Amino acid sequence: MKFASRMECLQDKALLNAMELTETEDMISFSAGFPSPETYPVEAIKKSFDQVLDREGKEALSYCSTSGYGKLREIIAQRMNDKFGLSYRTGEVVITSGSQQALDMSSMLFINKGDVVLFETPSYLGAVNALRAYEAELVALPTDGEGLILDALQKALDQYGDRVKLIYVIPDFQNPTGRSWSRSRRKAFVEFISAYEIPVIEDAAYSELSFEDKLEKPLSYYDKKGQVVYVGTFSKTFCPGLRVAWLCARENLMEKYLILKNAADLSSSSIAQRQMAYYLMHNDLDAHIKWITGLYKERRDCMMAVIDREFPKEAHYVIPKGGLFIWLELPENKDSRELLRRAMAEKVAFIPGGSFYPSSVKNNELRLNFSNLSHEDIEKGMTILGRLTRAYLAE
């Protein structure tokens, strides 16, 4: 049997493997990109399902319209507009099955085989996979403490010209580094890119998980042209098991996204969307998020304390002000895959940094998830990892 040529681009199973690593029960795993299951509001969700099934059972179990459940789209638009100063209308929101599907659909909409996509690096593996499935050429752009470096962006645009069809970025508490773009870089980026007809995917998966009171304005806020496609999700602020996320785009794009959504899976789950809408109407999601971020901040602090105490000075990190991850950098001649091999032997897992580079791999970094573990496990696992790192760096 012959397979499509895309399959040759999709041999990297790092994310699949990372997921599987966390499934061993006796493993202390810093691999996951999950929120903490103890934060899932099980009782409120149960009540929402019951109410939805009692009140509108038949509709909830039927096909939904392709764009998604109207009331949920309305609430999402309103919520984003209130929280981030955006100006999306209900008709500019489509519900997707996880934000991964929004990335898949965006790749599908913009990418022909061989087209160039510009990426900040390191970046989210799932987006890399979605784009590889459409045989994009992924071009890595460097970042500094403030975000994507505009000089590098300019150079890439000069070099690749019309071949550049898409830019993918995560401006808030980025996966895997935990870093955020500064306000001035956001403004400067949007102003710079508005001179081009290139769409930008703003992945806002972590945007609401700030450990400080202030939320930074999204790129979409500065976008006057309808060039930025905004991708949001309830997976990190509520729970991932419902697969309810959304994509916002201006009307001219939305029509095309709906054609693709229809081809991909007809529509997302009606009952999951109605449950979500019911929850949002009868509960305070922002209060829930405040509680979650308080919890994650304590876990971050715990992890930083163990790093500061147990790891050699040569292991660097930048304090993440939100999100789920600490990004640890070893000296350049060290390989985090070797560290992982040794850690696995002592039942500790993480994701080696090389997995987050779509090209020109760097191997001296590691991603450490803190959201999904107890203080006890963080203490224990990070102490082991610190000891192993000390030994490895001393070699």
What residues from 170 to 229 belong to the interface with a second copy (CB under 8 A)?
197-199, 227
**Can residue 391 be called a binding residue for a second copy (CB under 8 A)?**
no
Shortest approach of a second copy to residue 41 CB, angstroms? 9
Shortest approach of a second copy to residue 61 CB, angstroms? 4
Q: Which stretch binds a second copy (CB under 8 A): 58-66, 72-80, 116-124, 321-329?
A: 58-66
**Can residue 145 be called a binding residue for a second copy (CB under 8 A)?**
no
Binding to a second copy, residues 251-310 (CB under 8 A):
253, 256, 258-260, 262-272
**Can residue 313 be called a binding residue for a second copy (CB under 8 A)?**
no
Shortest approach of a second copy to residue 204 CB, angstroms? 17
Question: 53 or 149, CB closer to a second copy?
Answer: 53
Binding to a second copy, residues 363-382 (CB under 8 A):
none
Q: Quote the CA–CA distance of 132 and 113 in Å, as a whole number.
A: 9
**Can residue 111 be called a binding residue for a second copy (CB under 8 A)?**
yes
Binding to a second copy, residues 321-350 (CB under 8 A):
none
**Can residue 155 be called a binding residue for a second copy (CB under 8 A)?**
no
Question: 84 or 168, CB closer to a second copy?
Answer: 168
Single out the residue of 93, 109, 167, 204 in contact with a second copy (rule: CB under 8 A): 109
Shortest approach of a second copy to residue 97 CB, angstroms? 5
